[in-house]
């Protein structure tokens, strides 16, 4: 009999089936030690642990859970999302060709541009959510790596992962997907043919705004690119601490509940804003008339995430006026936490094409009537 694959919700709730063998505890312990003794013959401990840069039982537990959540063979934790992204690109050879989705998280774009320039890499940026752009650019440039973000931040564009994977693989390249805004609860990226999935675990995976972490996962750990990532993490020392890994494990156990509640809340907020006379445009993949909705519907199951953006009627000053009137939406940078946040993205990235009247929301788990009432009083 073929063993049934567990849902991400069950994997998260049971910490990947972890039971502490030493105590029988259902909660993993924290092992904070950075070094481990050898015996008198200088043989390593039976655990195999030598030094925490490679050997942290707590980190291994977290990585095992994360791998199961993404239906991956292996996962690697990093101290933050950008450290994970940096490892992906540092593992490429000098002179490689990269296709990068345009208008994604500005921190990714900024770093990749500078890195590719230093390393003599060919970098092509385009709206890869449009299949015709993916087709044309893969055929003409034969990229070594394609990096996409779906849904994208802050435009919420959805890219067809399966289509992208086919086109990239046809020319011998690898596809890496930043699925931070979706989480494995809504999209198991590797099921659609991507080579590597990346998450800023600081965001929805942890969800409590108290941990910095990043993760990469794959089903091709034997590939030279993944092996180079593994070496880079070791040599560069991009290792998460045991306490942060333990906090992440704790948070993952309620991941499915948080994502489901936040997605439902975000859907209602998006629908409310879409019908408001003082709102110019709403960007959310759950809206049936939003460009990319059909793509999102195919690869997101159970909701469309907590992230949305909208443009206020009027100029920058009006957007900042409304932002300043909000009481429940905290004016802070990040997304995916239990508390709702609002951000004026133009202030953060004024030279990337973000409209001055755009506000980005990360919708939390609060009572939806309270959130809509807060938006309502601010939009007057």
pLDDT tens for residues 63-79? 999 999 999 999 999 99
Q: Where exactly are the structural domains of the chain?
A: 8-252, 256-378
Tell me what pLDDT residue 28 has: 92
How high is the pLDDT of residue 53? 87
Runs of H (alpha helix) within the chain: 8-13, 57-69, 81-90, 106-119, 131-141, 161-170, 183-186, 224-236, 242-252, 255-274, 293-299, 316-325, 345-348, 368-378
Token digits of residue 227: 């092996």
Give ∠ CA 77-11-202 in degrees, rounded to 5. 35
The predicted-structure confidence for 299-344, as pLDDT tens digits, reads as follows 999 999 999 999 999 999 999 999 999 999 999 999 999 999 999 9
In whole angstroms, give the CA distance from residue 101 to residue 86: 16
Helices 255-274, 368-378: inter-axial angle, 10-degree rounding: 40
Q: For the domain made up of 256-378, give the CATH fold.
A: 3.90.1150
Q: Which residues are CB-contacts of 162 (< 8 A; sequence separation ≥ 6)?
A: 192, 193, 299
Tens of pLDDT, residue by residue over 207-238, are 999 999 999 999 999 999 999 999 999 999 99
User: Is residue 177 within 8 Å of residue 219, measured between CB atoms?
Assistant: no
Decide if pLDDT at 46 tops 90: no
Other beta carbons within 10 angstroms of residue 132's beta carbon come to 8
User: Is the fold of 8-252 the same as that of 256-378?
Assistant: no
* Percent of the chain residues past pLDDT 70, beyond the cut: 99
Mean pLDDT over 239-247 rounds to 96
Instruction: Select 8-252's CATH number: 3.40.640.10, 3.40.50.360, 3.30.390.50, 3.40.50.150.
Output: 3.40.640.10
Mean pLDDT over each residue of the chain, to the nearest integer: 96
Averaged pLDDT, 116-140: 98
CA distance 205 to 274: 28
Can you give the pTM of this predicted structure?
0.96
């Amino acid at each position: 009999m073929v063993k049934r694959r567990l849902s991400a919700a069950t994997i998260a709730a049971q910490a990947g089936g972890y039971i502490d063998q030493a105590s029988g505890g259902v909660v993993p312990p924290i092992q904070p030690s950075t070094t481990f003794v050898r015996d008198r013959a200088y043989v390593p401990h039976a655990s195999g642990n030598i030094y925490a840069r490679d050997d942290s039982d707590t980190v291994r537990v977290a990585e095992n859970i994360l791998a199961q959540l993404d239906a991956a063979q292996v996962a690697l934790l990093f101290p933050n999302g950008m450290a994970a992204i940096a490892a992906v690109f540092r593992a490429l050879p000098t002179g490689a060709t990269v296709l990068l989705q345009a208008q994604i998280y500005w921190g990714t774009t900024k770093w990749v541009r500078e890195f590719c320039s230093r390393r003599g890499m060919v970098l092509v940026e385009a709206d890869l959510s449009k299949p015709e752009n993916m087709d044309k650019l893969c055929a003409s440039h034969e990229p070594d790596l394609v990096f996409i973000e779906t849904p994208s931040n802050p435009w919420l564009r959805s890219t067809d992962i399966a289509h992208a994977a086919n086109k990239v693989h046809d020319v011998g390249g690898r596809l890496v997907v930043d699925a931070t805004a979706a989480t494995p609860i809504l999209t198991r990226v590797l099921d659609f043919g991507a080579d590597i999935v990346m998450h800023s675990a600081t965001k929805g995976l942890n969800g409590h705004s108290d941990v910095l972490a990043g993760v990469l996962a794959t089903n091709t750990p034997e590939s030279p690119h993944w092996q180079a990532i593994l070496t880079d993490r070791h040599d560069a020392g991009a290792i998460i601490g045991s306490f942060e890994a333990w906090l992440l494990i704790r948070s993952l156990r309620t991941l499915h509940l948080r994502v489901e509640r936040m997605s439902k809340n975000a859907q209602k907020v998006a629908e409310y804003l879409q019908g408001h006379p003082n709102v110019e445009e709403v960007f959310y993949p759950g809206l049936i008339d939003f460009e990319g909705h059909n793509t999102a519907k195919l690869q997101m199951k159970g909701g469309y995430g907590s992230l949305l953006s909208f443009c206020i009627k009027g100029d920058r000053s009006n957007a900042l006026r409304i932002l300043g009137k909000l009481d429940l939406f905290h004016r802070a940078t990040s997304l995916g936490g239990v508390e709702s946040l609002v951000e004026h993205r133009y202030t953060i990235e004024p030279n990337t094409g973000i409209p001055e009247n755009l506000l980005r929301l990360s919708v939390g788990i609060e009572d939806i009537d309270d959130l809509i009432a807060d938006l309502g009083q601010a939009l007057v």
